[in-house]
A and B are shown apart, each in its own frame.
Chain A
Amino acid sequence: MGAVLRAERLSKRFGGLKANDDVSISLQQGQILGLIGPNGAGKSTCFAMLAGSIPPTSGQIFVEDREVTGMPGFQIARTGVVRTHQIVRPFGNLTLVENCTVAAAQCSGRADAGSRELAREMLQFVGLDKRRHEYPGGLTLAGRKKLEMARALSCNPRALLLDEVIAGVNPKEAQEMVALIRRIRDERKISILMTEHVMAAVMSLCEHVAVLEAGKLIASGSPQEVVQNPAVVEAYLGKKHA
């Protein structure tokens, strides 16, 4: 079992601010890895670098031993690492199935008809199949988040980077999302790296958790180990609780 996605000593500077400082993460085949940390800890920056949206200042990124550091986002997506967005970004001028077809046509390596088929299959997988000819404007937030996942899945990725897909939906929908994420790993055999503020979801889904604080990785381990780590408690709640 090798690492699907591996970041080594990743740093990102924005002027004088070190948003990420020496962050090393590796996502194993079939793993659900959680990346947590308080607001402003650098989770989004880390995601953006892994997905190729912004280049790292230093450090390296590998997809299954192939170095992808500095590749533009669309190429990283084609190597099989695809992200979703915390604030959903559907293509409002395309129907649900067309949203997914774009992704499938660009990344999955399937021809015309095959990409539409894959798109439809992925919509079915997230439970939006019946509404496939509608436009995203008519969906609820949870629906749009599912669309975001279906679109990413249509790329046929090896690794999926989920940016806060649960936050902001109601408790019942949150449970559905948790089940859906588990099914993505179990049935589609896709490794998942997720950031999430809903701790219950992280605790139940992730086998392994990495904690960022002020751009540095301060702890990693099983969820149970991590929440008992004094450095983590301090990062979230302040010194006197640690």
Chain B
Amino acid sequence: MKVPLPAWVRPRAAIGLLAACVVLALVPLLNGAVYWHNLLTLTFVGVAAALAWNWLGGYLGQVSFGHAAMFGVGGFVAAQLQLQLRFPMLVSWAIGGVAAGAFSLIWGHPTLRLRGPYFSIATIGVGEATRLVCTYWDWFTGGSSGLSLPMRSNLKYELYWYGIALAALAVAASYALRRSPMGLSLLAIKSDVDAASDVGVSATRLQDWVLFLSGLTIGICGAFYASYFSYIEPGDMFGFDRSISWVLMGVIGGIGTILGPALGAVIFILVKEYLIASYPQLYLGLYGTLLVLVILFEPLGITGLFLRLVRRRRPDLAVTGMAAED
């Protein structure tokens, strides 16, 4: 059987993704995988969210410190749909995702014309404002006591496979966004928005699309998270540290690369697990130090280290559009 693929898809990449999914899907069937089960599920959500953050922060070069806003909107909309209207889980996830995407457009459409640090500062404001409003909005979020979702036996166990699907879709979308002509146009906008416009690239439209997709995916992650823990509260869902965690994952793994943020998410979550267990007071400080070291010595994170090892120069991965000019 021959599957028709677009010209920019390498068959090797598609096969690799499928193989990884199959292997991960079989893990819970092993004995003694219970501990890993929970950690891996959280890692899948982290991978999907970090990749979605990277579409905006890496491909387009617009770093957001407020993505937890969409995570929370997706989570609470999905939770309310299940609680109030008895929607099936997957339908509520989808609607939660779309709501989060729409929400991101409301603040993002006007702010995306700001570039670089100005955009980032705006996102901090958006993230915090959303958190505060939602903390006081009892009807929507249950206020600071939060919401409890209906529990179903075995759901937590099954969600592992949903998590794989979510992460795999995010990886596939990252690949498509990076290598399709649309992805090339995003990189062109990052490099020089006016020159891009002169060859027919509609920056506004493309930026809005990427923001929507990013918000949608993060929103679905939030909805997944709500179903997984069956209890959510605004301080956690909309937390600033959550937004920062995706920035960290991207920076550790390699901003703007296809798989870097996924790798960053895996490392972030594993290291955090270890650090919280061993040094609960120190762990944020240690992350801060790590972040400073990465930015100082290897702005492309782990991917950059790898490229250095194989001695390849990749201007397409430049962190800013300017740096690529040599």
Contacts and interface: CB of A to CB of B under 8 A. Distances in A.
Contacts of B111: none
B4 to A, nearest CB: 12
Contacts of A99: 188
Interface stretch (B90-98, B102-110, B192-200, B268-276): B192-200
B321 A78 contact: no
Contact of A103 (B187, B199, B316, B318): B199
Given A91-B188, A112-B8, A107 B200 contact: yes
Interface stretch (B35-43, B146-154, B178-186, B299-307): B178-186
A108 to B, nearest CB: 9
Nearest to B205: A74
Interface in B290-326: 315-318, 321, 324-326
B202 interface: yes
Contact of B326 (A92, A98, A105): A92
B7 A116 contact: yes
Contacts, number: 107
Contacts of A142: none
A92 B325 contact: yes
B199 A155 contact: yes
Nearest to A51: B198
Report the contact-size class of chain B (Cβ under 8 Å from the partner): 20 to 34
A123 B87 CA distance: 55
Interface string A56-92: 0000000000000000111101100011010001111
A183 B188 CA distance: 28
Interface in A93-115: 93-95, 98-99, 101-103, 105-107, 112-113, 115
Nearest to A148: B195
11 contacts: A51-B198, A73-B198, A74-B197, A74-B203, A89-B195, A93-B317, A98-B184, A98-B187, A99-B188, A105-B182, A112-B181
Given A78-B200, A93-B324, 17 more contacts: A82-B200, A89-B192, A89-B195, A91-B188, A91-B191, A92-B191, A92-B315, A92-B318, A92-B324, A93-B321, A94-B188, A103-B199, A105-B185, A106-B202, A113-B6, A135-B315, A135-B316
Interface of B: 6-8, 180-182, 184-185, 187-188, 190-192, 194-203, 315-318, 321, 324-326
**Can you list the 7 inter-chain pairs with the closest CB atoms, starting with the nearest?**
A92-B324, A105-B181, A106-B200, A103-B199, A107-B200, A89-B195, A137-B326
